[in-house]
Amino acid sequence: MVTQAKYLTGDKEGIEEFINRFDVFLFDCDGKQVVFVTNNSTKSRADYKQKLTSMGIPATVDEVFGSSYSAAIYISRILRLPANKKTVFVLGEAGIETELDSEKVPHIGGTDPSLARLIEKGDYADIASGTSLDPSVGVVLCGLDYHLNYLKLSLAFHYLRHGAVFLATNLDTTLPSSSTLFPGAGACSAPLVAMLGGKQPTSLGKPSQAMMDAVEGKFRFDRQRACMIGDRLDTDIQFGIEGGLGGTLCVLTGVTRGKQDWEDGKTVPTAWVDKLGDLREGA
C-alpha cells in the first residue's frame, strides 16, 4: 500500500521511471494510449474533442470518456430494463441527451423547453394521478442541470416513487469555474436524495468503479500498466486507487493544493507534480 507520494517536479530520473511503468494514461500524456476521463456531463464526447482541439490538444472522439457516455453505456448495455420501461427521464443538459442518442436510448425531460416553466396548479393533480407521467420511464438520470426547476424535480421524484432506477452521471457537489465553485451534478440531485430520505443514486462518474469497468471494457488494457492523472483526490486519485491501477499522478493545477491534502493518509497518489508540463522535462 502506498502511503507516501513521490514529488516528481524537476526529478528527471524519477519522471522517466514513473512514465515507463505505464502503457495507458487515463487523462493526458503523449506517445502512449490516452483516455480523457471527465465527470462533466453537460458536454458530449464530440463537444469535448472540440474543446481539447481548441486548446491545442489533439484528440479523437474515441479518446474521450465522459460521465454522460458512461451513463448511456451503463443504461443500454448493463442495466436490464423491462421492455416497457426503457425511457430515461433526464435531469441534465444536451451532453447527456447526445450520448443517450448515440446508444439509441429513448429519453424525455432534459432540455425540453415545455418543462422550462413554473409549476402550475393543474400540475399537482396531473402528477399525482400519473396523467402527466410517461409510463415507459424506467430510469431517472441526474447530471448537472442549468435548467433545474421545481417542476422537473417534482416529475423526477414521482418517477422514482413509481420505481424508476436512480442514476447520476456523477456526484461532484461543486463545479469549478472562474476560479471559484458553482453547483455541480451532486447539488442538482441533492433535492431528490433529501426527499428519498438519503437514498443516493448510482453514480456512473469518477470515482465510481462502474465508470472504470466501462473504460476498461472499451479500451482493454492491463490495469497494472495504467495510470490515472488528475487534480482531485476524492474523484480522480480515488478512482485510480479503487480501480487497482498501477499508479496515480496528482497535478496541483486544480483543487488539490499539495501534500497537506493527503496527509490524513486517506487518498495518497503514487506521485505528484506541480503541473502536467513538468512530466515533459524528464520524458
> Which one among 58, 62, 182, 254 touches a copy of itself, defined by CB under 8 A?
182
148 binds a copy of itself (CB under 8 A): yes
Report the nearest approach of a copy of itself to the CB of residue 244 (Å): 28
Asked if residue 172 lies in contact with residue 42, where contact means CB atoms within 8 angstroms, the answer is no
4 binds a copy of itself (CB under 8 A): no
Interface region with a copy of itself, contact rule CB under 8 A, candidates 27-35, 83-91, 126-134, 214-222: 126-134
Where helices occur in 136-199 by DSSP H, the ranges are 150-161, 185-195
Where helices occur in 130-256 by DSSP H, the ranges are 150-161, 185-195, 209-219, 238-242
Q: Is 206 annotated as a binding residue?
A: yes
Asked if residue 217 lies in contact with residue 65, where contact means CB atoms within 8 angstroms, the answer is no
Of 261, 245, 179, nearest in space to 206 by CA: 245
Interface region with a copy of itself, contact rule CB under 8 A, candidates 50-58, 121-129, 201-209, 269-277: 121-129
SS3 percent helix, strand, coil of the chain, rounded to 5, is 40, 20, 40
Asked if residue 70 lies in contact with residue 37, where contact means CB atoms within 8 angstroms, the answer is no
Strand 180-183 and strand 174-177: the pairing is: antiparallel
214 binds a copy of itself (CB under 8 A): no
23 in active site: yes
62 binds a copy of itself (CB under 8 A): no
The residue (of 43 and 86) whose beta carbon lies closer to a copy of itself is 43
Per-residue binding string, a copy of itself, 186-205, x by CB under 8 A, is: xxx-xxxxxx-x--------
Q: Cα 32–34–35 angle (5° rounding)?
A: 160
Interface region with a copy of itself, contact rule CB under 8 A, candidates 14-22, 55-63, 173-181, 265-273: 173-181
> Which one among 149, 221, 234, 259 touches a copy of itself, defined by CB under 8 A?
149
Q: Which three cell numbers stand for residue 134?
A: 410517461
Report the nearest approach of a copy of itself to the CB of residue 200 (Å): 11
Q: Is 28 annotated as a binding residue?
A: no
**In DSSP terms, which residues pair with 165 in a beta bridge?**
139
The residues of the shown chain that bind a copy of itself, judged by CB under 8 A, are 118-119, 124-125, 127-129, 145-150, 153-154, 157-158, 161, 173-174, 177-184, 186-188, 190-195, 197
